[in-house]
Amino acid sequence: MSVLEIRNLRAGVEDKEILKGVNLTLDSGEIHALMGPNGSGKSTLAYVVAGHPHYQIYGGDILLDGESILEMEPDERCKAGIFLAFQYPVAVPGVSVANFLRTAVSNVRGYTAQPTEGENRGAVIGSNLMPMREFRKEINDKMKEFNVDPSFARRYLNDGFSGGEKKRTEVLQMAMLAPKFAIMDESDSGLDIDALRVVSEGINKLATPERGFLLITHYQRLLNYVKPDKVSIFYDGRIVMTGGPEIALMLEERGYGWVEKEFAGAAEPVA
C-alpha cells in the first residue's frame, strides 16, 4: 500500500499565495474527488504536486510513502509514481503518440538508465528504449482494452485531437505508465456524454487497490460514472469540508455560493 500525503502545503507565484495550508491524505485504492469554484486553487494544487517549476513552495511538505518529493524534478516524481492528467493537454506536432509513449515508458521503467550493449551502440537511436516488439504488443493490448483507436499511435500527440480524443489518450498514457497515484485535473472538461463515458470507464478499470485517484472537478456528472470514496470542497486555497459522495450531490443542488458565505476567512476544515 502506498500513501500520498500533503501536509500544510503553502505555495503560489512570486508573492501571491494560492495554496494556504492544504492537508490531504490519499491512500492506494482510494478515489478522492476535489470540488470547488473557479480560481480556488485546485489546478494549482495538481501542478504543485506534479512539480511544475512555475510555482514556489512557501511551507509544508508533500510525502510519497513517507519520503518528501519537494526536491524532486517532475520526471523524478513521475518515476516515483505520480501522474498528472492535464485539463488542457498540449499538442506536440511531429511527435507521434507511439514515440512519446515509448520514450515515457522507457524512462519510468528504467530502460534509459541501462547501459547500451556493445561498444558501438551508443549513437544508435532507441538502443536503450523498451524493445519495440514488446512495446508494440503492450500498446496494442492497452488500446484495445481502453477503447482507443489504433490509428492514434501514428498521430501526432494531441495535434488536431478533439477534447474527447485528448482525454482518451491520457487514459492510455496512464495505463502504460501505471502510476501509484493519478491526479485528474478536470478530465470531464469539454467532453460530450459518449466521451465522458469512455474516459470514466478507463478510470474505473485503472482504479485498482494499488492505485489512488485525486479527481479534480466542478461538477457531479463525472462522479455519476466514477464513484468517489471521499469528496472534499476546495475554497480559497484550502480544503474546507470533507465527507462522502453526498457532498457532491449537495454542491450539485446548491451550487458554490453558500461555500463562500460559510467559509470565507475560515481557518479550520470541517470533517
Strands (E), 145-249: 156-157, 181-185, 212-217, 230-235, 238-243
Distance CA 91, CA 17 (A): 30
Region label for 88, one of left (φ > 0), alpha (ψ between -120 and 50) or beta (otherwise) = beta
pLDDT tens for 59-73 read 999 999 999 999 999
pLDDT tens for 153-179 read 999 999 999 988 998 999 999 999 999
155 in a structural domain:
yes
Residue 20 bridge partners (DSSP) = 10
**Confidence at residue 219, expressed as pLDDT on a 0 to 100 scale:** 83
Q: Which residue range is the domain that position 204 belongs to?
A: 3-89+180-263
**Confidence at residue 122, expressed as pLDDT on a 0 to 100 scale:** 52
Indicate whether 48 and 116 sit together in one domain: no
- Residues 169, 152 contacting (CB under 8 angstroms): yes
> pLDDT exceeding 70 applies to what percent of the chain?
93
| Domain of residue 44, CATH code | 3.40.50.300
**Confidence at residue 123, expressed as pLDDT on a 0 to 100 scale:** 46
Indicate whether 203 and 147 sit together in one domain: no
Cα angle 77, 25, 175; round to 5: 45
Indicate whether 81 and 188 sit together in one domain: yes
- Among 35, 61, 65, CA closest to 48: 61
* pLDDT greater than 70 at residue 267: no
Domain boundary among 109, 129, 160: 160
